[in-house]
Chains A and B, each alone.
Chain A
């Protein structure tokens, strides 16, 4: 008929060392009395309640370091369990305000979590590129009208020629389009990127199936070809290992899939800009391609 060993060890820390033996002996005496009169189970419960009552002192470990018991320690000893009991009585007496407070706190915590999650996703998360800190987007500002929606293609080409601090400049144009995997299938909404050759390098794309764009794909009169992101390949093409060589329809145009890429941008279909904007990209006419450097 021994008290719980762990509880005994914890309680030993609740009193100064010079009182410890007497304290534990007294606890044993009461424990044995309760076990004799009301059973061992109740005696064990009583012993653990003693640990709970002494928890503040045990947690601080002050009894081990100092024999002086301050007024604050005393207060904590008595007040801890009293405050718990008082709180429980208050809840039972008038539960509505407590329910209100709990609800308000739940909503507050939920809202804070949502805000932090969104902020983390939008601001805190690194861009999915190899060197996001070295990536920048060009923006044209017209003195009279402010920000232009796009950068003139010829301006971008001039910058590419003269730039000394930019490793590469990729040109692209974005379009929300319906992409079909067969001529009569349902269109899947996707962002279609009309790209030039350097964009692959700027975004550090890697082929996981087939190949990326090559010089020939950007030549005048080249066949319309497309590379798709690995996410698009999974969701729209069902991870088809033979997807390379199949066709995609974007509007009325048919593109041949030449590869699947990973990294950088996701959920996108990238087509060779020379096929989409043959005059603008290749002939150097003023065009609508923003530039990435």
Chain B
């Protein structure tokens, strides 16, 4: 049975997928900000990445040591085949749902 992801985990997975090889904490956080329209806490991003990694949906890898980080490497993430399958399924579910729901007309909010 595919793992059940929270909306934020799904968002994190989608951001990592969009970024490809450039996906690491900062870029994923920035991309989530673009996708959901507001900033995400870095701790939330890392918590989501930790769980996605445990579920086997993303895989961490270390970059080359970087001078601006005092010789430390960045922890990058790449989406695994299972992760891509989760994205595909979530996308299909969302499309099926929203295609079946008529969009209500814009009205005054009460």
Contacts and interface: CB of A to CB of B under 8 A. Distances in A.
Interface string A91-106: 0000000000000000
B72 A78 contact: no
Interface in A1-49: 11, 14-16, 19, 21-23, 25-27, 29-30, 49
B43 A54 contact: yes
A19 B41 CA distance: 15
Contacts of A78: 6, 8, 44
Interface string B91-108: 000000000000000000
Nearest to A53: B41
Contacts of B75: 19, 22
Contacts of A57: 43, 47
A15 B6 contact: no
A50 B54 CA distance: 24
Contacts of B54: 68-69
A26 B43 contact: no
Contact of B47 (A15, A22, A49): A15
Interface string B66-109: 00010010110000000000000000000000000000000000
A247 to B, nearest CB: 80
Given A21-B72, A68-B54, A26 B42 contact: yes
A39 to B, nearest CB: 17
B37 to A, nearest CB: 13
B47 A26 contact: no
B24 A16 contact: no
B18 interface: no
Nearest to B3: A71
Contacts of A49: 41
B72 A50 contact: no
Contacts of B29: 26, 30
Contacts of A23: 25, 42-43, 46
B71 to A, nearest CB: 11
A26 to B, nearest CB: 3
Interface string B1-33: 000001011000000000000001110010000
A84 to B, nearest CB: 12
A73 interface: yes
Contacts of A69: 47, 50-51, 54
Contacts of A75: 6
A9 to B, nearest CB: 14
Interface in B30-58: 41-44, 46-51, 54
Given A15-B46, A26-B42, 15 more contacts: A11-B42, A11-B43, A15-B47, A19-B49, A19-B50, A22-B75, A26-B29, A50-B43, A53-B43, A54-B41, A57-B47, A67-B50, A69-B47, A73-B47, A78-B44
Interface of A: 11, 14-16, 19, 21-23, 25-27, 29-30, 49-50, 53-54, 57, 67-69, 71, 73-75, 77-78, 81
Interface of B: 6, 8-9, 24-26, 29, 41-44, 46-51, 54, 69, 72, 74-75
10 nearest CB pairs, A to B: A53-B41, A26-B25, A54-B43, A22-B75, A14-B43, A69-B50, A77-B44, A15-B46, A77-B47, A26-B26
